[in-house]
Amino acid sequence: MFFLLFTSNFVALSHIIIDIILSMEQSQQLVQTITKGIQDKKGQDIIIADLRNIEGAIANYFVICQGSSPAQVEAISESIGNTVRTDLKEKPVNVAGLGLNHWVAIDYSDVLVHVFLPEERAFYDLETLWEDAKLMKIPNID
């Protein structure tokens, strides 16, 4: 009886672990695809903040970047949505800030994307706000 109980608990735990690993891989693939969408429209100063080890974080990752004008912020945001939809067949849960295009936030649940104008990015300074996160800077494409 003990062996059966142990075996069923082990199998259930194994499935949970596999689900967690798959979710982590999907989040990382989503981050890579978002980065591709940003770079397609020449988004600058991309930072990926890994929030997975921060208790109470609202997402696993933040992807932060900037465009030089409201038109470029809009183009970057649309490129992210199109690239993720085409490559991964995913749509965001929510998008806020389109229209004004000073700060567009795109919510993919596990990954939150922030596309800023430089002034707004400097003002809100998300990189410092989440200073406990592991930050990875992606080189600009010239």
- Give the pLDDT confidence score for residue 131 in this predicted structure: 82
Task: Give per-residue pLDDT as tens, 56-66.
Answer: 999 999 999 99
- pLDDT value of position 3: 47
Predicted local confidence at residue 47, as pLDDT: 97
pLDDT at 23: 53
- Give me the residues paired with residue 106 across strands: 95, 113
Positions in the chain whose pLDDT score sits under 70: 1-24
